[in-house]
Amino acid sequence: MGEDFYCDEVLSGRRAVEVVGENSSYLAFKHTRPAYSAAHIVVVPKAHVDSLLSAAQGFAVVEMVQLLRQVAADVCTSYGAARVVTNLGSYQESKHLHWHVVAGARIAEPVEVEPGPQARPWSSG
C-alpha cells in the first residue's frame, strides 16, 4: 500500500469503493482488502490528516464520532458485535488517519476484493 492510499487512490476517485456512509468531513466504505470475515469498513477524513497523533486540535472530531457511531451501529445490528480501531506508528500502513470498523474473525491472508455493483469512484462534487 502507498504512503497515503486513501488520498492517492480512494479520495482522488481513482479507486472505486462501496460507500456505506458519509458526512461533510468523513467517508466510510467497505475495505478494498478486508482482513475480517464478516465486515471490514474504513472511515477516513476527506482532507489529509497523517494520524490521530498529528491531528490538529479540534479537527472535525464531532463529525468523525458521528460517522463512526453510525457505521459501528450498523455493523452491530448486522453481526451482533463490532470493533473500532485505528493504528499508529509502524502499525499504520497508510499514513492517512483511518478507522477500521470490523466484525468476525481475522482473515489470515487478506486479498484484494472486486468492488460490488454499488461501488463507484468517490467524488467530492
Short-list 91, 11, 1, 17, CA closest to 49: 11
For residue 7, give Cα distances in angstroms to 14, 45, 68, 72, 109: 10, 9, 19, 23, 24
Backbone phi, psi, residue 53, to 5°: -75, -25
Inter-residue contact 75 to 39 (CB < 8 Å) = yes
Which listed CATH number (3.40.718.10, 3.40.50.970, 3.30.428.10, 1.10.3720.10) goes with 5-105? 3.30.428.10
64-95 tens-digit pLDDT: 899 999 999 999 999 999 999 998 888 888 88
Mean pLDDT taken over the chain: 86
Domain range list for the chain = 5-105
Inter-residue contact 82 to 70 (CB < 8 Å) = no
Confidence of residue 125 (pLDDT cuts 50, 70, 90): low
User: Looking at the DSSP assignment, which residues form a beta bridge with residue 28?
Assistant: 21, 43
89 vs 59, more confident:
89
